[in-house]
Structure 1
Amino acid sequence: MLIDSHCHLDFPDFAEDLPGVIARARAAGVTRMLTISTRVAKARTYEALSEAHPEIWHTVGTHPHGAGEEPDVPAAEIVALTRHPRCIGIGEAGLDYHYEDAAPEAVQERVFRTHIAAARETGLPLVIHSRDADAHMEAVLVDEMGQGAFKAVLHCFSSGARLAQVGVELGLFVSFSGIVTFRRSHDLRAIAAATPRDRILVETDAPFLAPEPYRGRTNEPAYTADTARSLAKALDIPFDAFAALTTDNFHRLFDKTGAAAGEGA
């Protein structure tokens, strides 16, 4: 059994065939999916998805690309929305300095710190997005962890080895996407190999970043299996053992998937 720890099933790419997407995932051994929030304002959309499909859980939060649209959502509002029984995490939130028209760095940081406060208050894990912001991300994480521990995962990891090391030292998990299967991703596979086995998750970030051999196509949760096979090979772990390992890691991090969510593994 595998879990796609990060996908966006509310995106238009899946609107016409979500039952088919779920069926193909199940056929590939991907029995659960976590659909990730990009806007707090869309919370009811994520709730409806997870209510309608027992294979799906959801999070609540503001993606850094939307920080300028939701610059002042209070932590209390995020906390209130996490009370939904199928909401098992917060985010994705973080820092993304890749695009010139992104929200100002100060706004992104403020929104990110608000999500950290919500994660700390609820005890739910924060899904962290970091792109072209390694030094700033490290500084914020070290500062915030010093103010009180919180659970988190560095999702779709494609940053440098130092951020992965710092994240692990702070107690964070690291999630790898289809990028790790790309031919030139030697450094990323080395980072995965250096990451403690009990901190590794797998994801698609669907509909983006389809792994080999589907690169260039719309990504979907079924392809979690391809990323997992690539990672298992890089880590020299049998595929079935790696699938069991990452599933266990997911449930340890997102522990609301147990009794509080009304179901287990």
Structure 2
Amino acid sequence: MEGHCRVQVDITDFNDNAPEIVFTSQPKPVREDAPSGTVVALISARDLDSGDNGKVTLQLTKGSPFNLKPSFSNNYALVTNGLLDRESFSEYNIEITATDSGSPPLSSKKIIPVSITDVNDNPPIFTQPSYNVYLKENGVPGSILYSVSASDLDFGENAKISYSILDSKVQDVSVSSYVYINSDNGSIYSMHSFDYEKLKVFQIQVQAKDQGSPSLSSNATVHVFILDQNDNAPAVIYPLLRALGSLSSEDAPLR
């Protein structure tokens, strides 16, 4: 005799699979002026286990200006959650931890690099707001008077600086008739020789402008002081020569 029976064996789950973090959309660069809630990446979490062993929670490293916004069934959006400043942090490496509800729980981690792109939010800044330049008179035309310098905390074209001289008057003549500037490096040159007896001091307004859109700029003042040189012989003012010539021999001093 023989008999047959069907035996049903139920396999109970053992928490032997760590959760996995998957990008459903790759992280994209974020502008530093992006408002809170801007989506950076879409993320899903999955676990091959079942029941509590397959229930997954995601957690971000504390202190970053980002947040995980749940959408549906273990799907999340990584969004901005605060002010961004590329000049302080140009890139974030965001650590996400996925943990299941098994006993003991299993977890996995993933690093998400997020680049912050520049916005032209910093004007060029001169090394100082004003400069004093002391220049001897009778210099050679075309010689360098001074070099100003400015820097910009932004990046790329937003940090590229060009220099110019703002129009103003020196003795009713445009200052550009006296000096010119190299727009690339800020070096100021004389257009002609200066004469202390005619001009003792004048000012130059220099502007530094970046190439952002819209561009930002700042100004500095260069005070130029002309220094006297001994280039004039003394002249007899009194008595006049013709008056001396009219003196008689009787008026001449005795020896």
Identify whether the pair has TM-score above 0.5, normalized to the shorter chain.
no
RCO greater where, 1 or 2, for CA within 8 Å and sep 6 or more?
A: 1
Structure-1-length-normalised TM-score: 0.16
Larger radius of gyration between Structure 1 and Structure 2? 2
User: Which one has a larger percent helix, Structure 1 or Structure 2?
Assistant: 1
Query: Structure 2 length normalisation: TM-score?
Result: 0.17
